[in-house]
Amino acid sequence: MDNDSSARIVGALRDWIAAAPAGARLPSTRALVATHAASPITVQKALRVLTAQGLIESRPGVGTFVRAIRVARPLEFGWQTAALGSPPNRVPVSAAAMRDAPQGVMALHSGYPNRELLPERLVRSALTRAARSDVAVSRPPVAGIPELQAWFAAELADAVPAGATPPTASDVLVLPGSQSGLSSIFRALVGAGHALVMESPTYWGAITAAEQAGVRVIPVPSGAAGPDPDDVARAFEETGARAFYAQPNYANPTGAQWSRDTTERILSVVRASGAFLIEDDWAHDFGITSTSAPVAGMDDAGHVVYIRSLTKSVSPAIQIAAIIARGPARQRILADRVASSMYVSGILQAAALDIVTQPAWRAHLRGVRSQLRSRRDLLVDSLSEHAPRAHLTAIPAGGLNLWVRLPDDTDLPALVRSCAEENLFVGPGSEWFPAEPPGPFLRLNYSGPNPGAFPEAARILGRVLDRSL
Amino acid sequence: MDNDSSARIVGALRDWIAAAPAGARLPSTRALVATHAASPITVQKALRVLTAQGLIESRPGVGTFVRAIRVARPLEFGWQTAALGSPPNRVPVSAAAMRDAPQGVMALHSGYPNRELLPERLVRSALTRAARSDVAVSRPPVAGIPELQAWFAAELADAVPAGATPPTASDVLVLPGSQSGLSSIFRALVGAGHALVMESPTYWGAITAAEQAGVRVIPVPSGAAGPDPDDVARAFEETGARAFYAQPNYANPTGAQWSRDTTERILSVVRASGAFLIEDDWAHDFGITSTSAPVAGMDDAGHVVYIRSLTKSVSPAIQIAAIIARGPARQRILADRVASSMYVSGILQAAALDIVTQPAWRAHLRGVRSQLRSRRDLLVDSLSEHAPRAHLTAIPAGGLNLWVRLPDDTDLPALVRSCAEENLFVGPGSEWFPAEPPGPFLRLNYSGPNPGAFPEAARILGRVLDRSL
């Protein structure tokens, strides 16, 4: 037996193993004997050493293999801290509205309607049809399937008064959900370092997209009646902002729907400022006692860039939204979309078009309207009975949320934690403010699972609030 | 007849119409008579005026309606030019590789494999199964469906040599296609204004994503053997770059596959620079005479951020890709993903997982390998026979493209146009260069429709080249 030979074979085989995938079969003992001009005993010894080092394993009668199950060791990524520097912004990776709720939790925190509010049968049959058609194996045009573009354009055209020019299919860009559209609009129309006016509070996803785009957020206060147009005017004057992001119908979280007067005055401000109104019509399908009246219908000079998603009303699996924009702005946004995703899956586009053009879709939306009304009213009544210290800012005419003001001295994080301990998830209002919140708020979503538990949820909230007195 | 009354009614109805959707029915003549305390003749006159103005139309026996067909007028978007300023970069909205080819065109320009190279039967049955399951109406976790994360991790683990720690499911982020992943990686790991080293030439989509992210691109020359590690080292030293984006296997467009020596030397450079190698394994499923050997398998210290897409090998409709990254880098990228798209459609994730875990998937890939080999060889032979002045830089061991050097004095745009006039679409090499091209090149994709036309395509290219002598 030759110790040096054995060490030499160990070294050579270590190099071989380092280059081999896990599970690779080592040369046979006979081959190793020949290659290394060593005795079988020397080769066997080398293999034993490698086995003891955890690098190989023998399967008797089969052969010797590079070990597939690796020894886990703690990995050292400290160097990345230097490479990455400080994170660019304050936004946490997961917002309350995205948190998964365990079975049995009363979930008033989520932003997504529960399954019973979705057109499940339509979704399944549309996807099945799409799976059989050409869209399953082909690439759609960059801006979307023309028929789906036309559907989005026609829907908005319904809101266009006589004398104004309605949008056409070629003004529409189909998107894989509205979140990526917000990022694109902010990058393309505002740009890093430039000012973007936003309502405060407003949709947390828009705040996140704005921070990702690196724009400078200029908050204007907004409440149950929407923003004050004079505040918006002042924000434009003082900052030279290029755009105002807003939700004129059933704003998330406040539920505000702009009056006709507010709409006209804000449109005047936007026109006078040579700026864009980025209208996020997120709850277009969720009117309760009114219907969504897109401001974009009242503009044909390219001032309103409209975005509207089907994801919440159709299915989270059908991530389809659209931007309607006219003039060079559309071109600018399209260039950003190509850089972001090239195109949108034809399967999802075809399924979305199939669903919204079925007669059953209209009937489904009527059913949703009535269910949302019952759910909203039950939660409103439950709060007023069991949690009188939670002050409802308004009863929204549409949307999915109540916006609740809590007593000034409420410790919001502690309250959210206490509720969670009693199996009630609520959305801390702070996540909807791009600036410091003027007080403690909660967002309570009434489109989640099990509305029958709303009274119990209100009782828990009431108890937790009383305890914090 | 009272002219003043008529004008008053016209004024009132214009306001009414301005607020009404197209197609809305006007109050009856009788109702207008009552409302305005005017005679039927006066009301009729007002309606005629409004009809003449194109605002309403009568349908006899039915009623009078706000006009649905609007008079198109040229719209004025000049104000947007001031609001938007100059475009931020030079990239055209549509690259040659994204152009749709009319029927009958010989399409050597596209980046997407033709339908006959896709596992069509698997795609259709997987989508049909997914349509019946819970994923059709539910929202998956932000980072992806755990089983799909695990599949991507296991695939890369196959390339990990003994002694190194393989990636796990929790290192994986599922993406809606690789393009959005590139944007996220560049924003999250490099950041606007910072330096990113890239091969030149390289994938045009990565160049576009880099420009969108606002990073400063540092090109290093690359050819049939990949980049020279000394050039990469110099680029890091001179610029303090944080990352090197590269395609070590079958680079697009050159087809280069890094040798073991190049791989090790570049990994050393990256480690010594405290930097990332962003490895785009775009052609993982398209090996021909070799297989893709991910560099990420040789790194467990978080230096290699790996991205790999199923879109080209599965179907353009199944836009599913994955990033595998370890340490804080993964967290940084995840935060950007949430801001970009919240989550990835569960339908597409479930279908992708279904397809790649079928035994028929492996068989399909073997078939693709053999088809690509025939296609590549046919195009190579055709060029050498019919277009000898088109110099093939190398015969690639995998991927979908030939990279062809043309004579120095070739007028590339004119050549591309001349080919198109003869129904041959080719990719002008200039689109793959982040800096000035060192000469005229063409990218010829051999995965498009109708490979039987390759000899004819080569004849056309040869003729056009001869003509330009």
HEC readout, chain A: CCHHHHHHHHHHHHHHHHHCCCCCECCCHHHHHHHHCCCHHHHHHHHHHHHHCCCEEEECCCEEEECCCCCCCCCCCHHHHHHHCCCCCCCCCCCHHHCCCCCCCEECCCCCCCHHHCCHHHHHHHHHHHHHCHHHHCCCCCCCCHHHHHHHHHHHHCCCECCCCCCCHHHEEEECCHHHHHHHHHHHHHCCCCEEEEEECCCHHHHHHHHHHCCEEEEEEEECCEECHHHHHHHHHHHCCCEEEECCCCCCCCCCCCCHHHHHHHHHHHHHCCCEEEEECCCCCCECCCCCCCHHHHCCCCCEEEEEECCCCCCCCCCCEEEECCCHHHHHHHHHHHHHHCCCCHHHHHHHHHHHCCHHHHHHHHHHHHHHHHHHHHHHHHHHHHCCCCEECCCCCECCEEEEECCCCCCHHHHHHHHHHCCEECEEHHHHCCCCCCCCEEEEECCCCCHHHHHHHHHHHHHHHHHCC
Distance from CA of A316 to the nearest CA of B (A): 5
DSSP letters, B347-370, are HHHHHHHHHHTSHHHHHHHHHHHH
Secondary structure class of B384 (helix, strand, coil): helix
Closest Cα in chain B to A177: B341
CATH no., domain A100-117+364-468: 3.90.1150.10
Q: Would you say A175 and A323 are in contact if contact means Cβ atoms under 8 Å apart? A: yes
Contact flag B163-A70 (C-beta cutoff 8 Å): yes
| Chain A CB contacts of B100 below 8 Å | 141
Question: From the list B23, B317, B339, which residue is nearest A345 (CB)?
Answer: B317
Closest Cα in chain A to B67: A162
A90, two tokens? 């304050």
Contact flag A317-B77 (C-beta cutoff 8 Å): no
Contact flag B131-A131 (C-beta cutoff 8 Å): yes
Distance CA B119, CA B124 (A): 9
CATH no., domain B120-360: 3.40.640.10
Pairing of strands B216-223, B226-227: antiparallel
Which part of chain B is CATH 3.90.1150.10? 100-117+364-468
**Per-residue pLDDT of chain A in tens (469 residues, 90 and over written 9):** 456 788 889 888 988 887 787 788 999 989 999 999 999 989 988 898 888 777 888 887 888 988 865 545 567 788 888 888 877 665 455 677 777 777 788 999 988 899 999 999 999 999 999 999 999 999 999 999 999 999 999 999 999 988 888 999 999 999 999 999 999 999 999 999 999 999 999 999 999 999 999 999 999 999 999 999 999 999 999 999 989 999 999 999 999 999 999 999 999 999 999 999 999 999 999 999 999 999 999 998 999 999 999 999 999 999 999 999 999 999 999 999 988 888 999 999 999 999 999 999 999 999 999 999 999 999 999 999 999 999 998 999 999 999 999 999 999 999 999 999 999 999 999 999 998 899 999 999 999 999 999 999 999 999 999 997 6
Distance from CA of B466 to the nearest CA of A (A): 35
Q: Can you give the pLDDT at residue A89? A: 62
Contact flag A136-B317 (C-beta cutoff 8 Å): yes
Sheet with B321-324, strands from edge to edge, namely B172-175, B321-324, B304-309, B276-280, B243-246, B195-200, B216-223, B226-227
- Residue B354: exposed, middle, or buried by beta-carbon count in 10 A (0-12, 13-18, 19+)? buried
Which part of chain B is CATH 3.40.640.10? 120-360
Distance CA B29, CA B282 (A): 68
Contact flag A179-B205 (C-beta cutoff 8 Å): no
Please provide residue A387's backbone torsions phi and psi, each rounded to the nearest 5 degrees.
Answer: -135, 60
Q: How many CB pairs under 8 A join A and B?
A: 317
Q: Can you give the pLDDT at residue A129? A: 97
Q: Supply the angle between the helices A204-213 and A178-185 in degrees, to the nearest 10.
A: 40
| Chain B CB contacts of A159 below 8 Å | 21
Secondary structure class of B403 (helix, strand, coil): strand
Distance from CA of B205 to the nearest CA of A (A): 7
Contact flag B317-A84 (C-beta cutoff 8 Å): no
Contact flag B79-A301 (C-beta cutoff 8 Å): yes
Contact flag B317-A274 (C-beta cutoff 8 Å): no
Q: Can you give the pLDDT at residue B162? A: 83
Distance from CA of A269 to the nearest CA of B (A): 14
Dihedral through CA B332, CA B333, CA B335, CA B338, nearest 10?
A: 180
Which part of chain A is CATH 1.10.10.10? 3-66
A66, two tokens? 């590079």
Pairing of strands B401-405, B226-227: unpaired
Q: Can you give the pLDDT at residue B93? A: 52
Distance CA A43, CA A46 (A): 5
Closest Cα in chain A to B79: A274
Q: Which of B14, B25, B84 to mutate to test the interface with A (most CBs of A within 10 A)?
A: B84
B26, β-bridge pairs: none
Contact flag A163-B66 (C-beta cutoff 8 Å): no
Q: Would you say B108 and B457 are in contact if contact means Cβ atoms under 8 Å apart? A: yes
Contact flag B77-A328 (C-beta cutoff 8 Å): yes
Contact flag B80-A23 (C-beta cutoff 8 Å): no
Distance CA B124, CA A230 (A): 55
Closest Cα in chain B to A159: B21
Pairing of strands B424-425, B401-405: unpaired
Contact flag A79-B315 (C-beta cutoff 8 Å): no
| Chain B CB contacts of A95 below 8 Å | 338
Query: Which run of H or of E encompasses B372?
Result: helix B359-386
| Chain A CB contacts of B171 below 8 Å | none
Q: Which of A47, A80, A330 to mutate to test the interface with B (most CBs of B within 10 A)?
A: A80
* Residue keyed to tokens 């919440």: A312
Contact flag A162-B209 (C-beta cutoff 8 Å): no
| Chain B CB contacts of A301 below 8 Å | 75-77, 79
Distance from CA of B408 to the nearest CA of A (A): 31
Distance from CA of B225 to the nearest CA of A (A): 20
Contact flag A161-B20 (C-beta cutoff 8 Å): yes
Distance from CA of A409 to the nearest CA of B (A): 32
Q: Which of B55, B139, B264 to mutate to test the interface with A (most CBs of A within 10 A)?
A: B139
B174, β-bridge pairs: B322
Contact flag B163-A55 (C-beta cutoff 8 Å): yes
Contact flag A128-B123 (C-beta cutoff 8 Å): no
A401, two tokens? 């949320």
Distance CA A213, CA A188 (A): 9
Contact flag A347-B318 (C-beta cutoff 8 Å): yes
Q: How far is the CA of B422 from the CAs of A297, B111, B381, in angstroms? A: 46, 21, 21
Contact flag B83-A19 (C-beta cutoff 8 Å): no
Q: Can you give the pLDDT at residue B297? A: 94
Contact flag B302-A346 (C-beta cutoff 8 Å): no
What is the architecture, at CATH level 2, of domain B3-66?
Orthogonal Bundle (1.10)
Q: Which of A70, A115, A142, A145 to mutate to test the interface with B (most CBs of B within 10 A)?
A: A70
Question: From the list B93, B142, B161, which residue is nearest A335 (CB)?
Answer: B93
Question: From the list B100, B177, B302, which residue is nearest A141 (CB)?
Answer: B100
Q: Kindly provide the residue ranges of all beta strands, DSSP E only, lying in B314-434, ordered along the sequence.
A: 321-324, 391-392, 401-405, 424-425, 427-428
Q: Can you give the pLDDT at residue A110? A: 87
The complex's ipTM works out to 0.84
Tell me B21's DSSP state: B
Q: Would you say A353 and A310 are in contact if contact means Cβ atoms under 8 Å apart? A: no
Question: From the list A136, A302, A334, which residue is nearest B123 (CB)?
Answer: A136
CA-wise closest residue to A331 among B418, B92, B409, B21: B92
Closest Cα in chain A to B325: A77
Question: From the list B130, B317, B348, which residue is nearest A135 (CB)?
Answer: B317
Q: Which of A117, A139, A236, A333 to mutate to test the interface with B (most CBs of B within 10 A)?
A: A139
Q: Supply the angle between the helices A3-19 and A40-52 in degrees, to the nearest 10.
A: 50
Query: Which run of H or of E encompasses B337?
Result: helix B328-341
Distance from CA of A411 to the nearest CA of B (A): 27
Query: Which run of H or of E encompasses B226?
Result: strand B226-227
C-alpha of A389 from chain center = 32
Q: Would you say A243 and A190 are in contact if contact means Cβ atoms under 8 Å apart? A: yes
Closest Cα in chain A to B271: A79
Q: Which residues of chain B have pLDDT under 70?
A: 1-3, 68-74, 88-94, 469
Q: Can you give the pLDDT at residue A14? A: 86
Q: Can you give the pLDDT at residue A1? A: 47
Distance from CA of B464 to the nearest CA of A (A): 30
| Chain A CB contacts of B95 below 8 Å | 338
Closest Cα in chain B to A86: B332
| Chain B CB contacts of A81 below 8 Å | 328
Q: Can you give the pLDDT at residue B1? A: 47
Pairing of strands A195-200, A243-246: parallel
Distance CA A81, CA B242 (A): 12
